[in-house]
Amino acid sequence: MKRKLKAFAASLGITETGVTTYGGRTAFVCLFPYFAGKEEGNLSVYAYSRDYHAIIREKLAHICDFLLTDCGAAYAEGFADIGPAVDKSLAYCAGLGFYGRNTLMINPRLGSFFFIGYVLTDLPMESDKPLGGKCLGCGRCAEACPGKALDEGFHAERCASALTQKKGPLTEDEREIIRRSGCVFGCDICQLVCPHNSAPPQPMPEFLKDRICNLTHDMLKGLSNREFRDKFGGRAFAWRGKAVLLRNLDILEK
């Protein structure tokens, strides 16, 4: 069954898959590479395309249908980022990677520029084993981090990606971290300097379509909240709303 399911996933373009258990059910874990190069702009690479949650859910829906109609499953449900399990933990247990110093999951073939999705099902399958690998420990991510969030552990309150999504007023130190990141949403620096990402694979085709790499005041300031949702609601950067993005644009321009 596991071999049959992995072959079906591969036919959808999902080549890195693994199996583990969660809550008494089988978890079929999938990796979705998205990196197609860092382009000039102020958005993190993961936000360039249509919202990855929607893309992953569409792929996982095909896997769920296959399990229910071709494999005899009574239950199959897909999750993309938001779900009952910690996706990085599932990926580790399913033999799909190991943790980097920057807390991201690293896959030997994909590096770290990938999303994680999974399907929970009632069909029993043999679990894969963790890889047992580890990152090179070069420290480049910690050295390059604009907020020094990786010094002696991980300090989320100094992570530029987290700060670009933080609501409300920011301290001058937090604003300076965003300036150094160069992004109004997210941050790619720790991944871009990572040796494990020296030769990232081609992304899935869905992440090459309808790309936006840069936001400007002119694109946002004249929009009502409803118009903003209508125009950008299908983008990963839209979830925090227009006000936070405009605040971050102001920070980068000062």
Q: What is the pLDDT of residues 226-253, one digit of tens each?
A: 999 999 999 999 999 999 999 999 999 9
Q: Kindly list the domain boundaries of the chain, sorted by start residue.
A: 2-121, 140-200+210-252
Segment 181-223, tens digit of pLDDT:
999 999 999 999 999 999 989 999 999 999 999 999 999 988 9
Catalytic positions, written as ranges: 81
Give the model's pLDDT for residue 224. 94
Specify whether the backbone of 49 is left (phi greater than 0), alpha (psi in -120 to 50) or beta: beta
- Distance (Å, whole) CA 130 – CA 91: 9
Closest alpha carbon to 215 in 145, 164, 147: 164
Segment 141-175, tens digit of pLDDT:
999 999 999 998 999 999 999 999 999 999 999 99
Bridge partners of residue 198, in order along the sequence: none
Q: What is the DSSP letter of 240?
A: T
- Distance (Å, whole) CA 122 – CA 128: 17
Secondary structure class of 177 (helix, strand, coil): helix
Query: Quick one: tokens of 34?
Result: 């998205």
Query: Quick one: tokens of 60?
Result: 């996982």
Residue 214 phi, psi (nearest 5): -145, 140
Place of tokens 């090179």: 136
State mean pLDDT over 27-32. 98
Cα 8 to the center of its chain, rounded Å: 23
Place of tokens 């020296």: 198
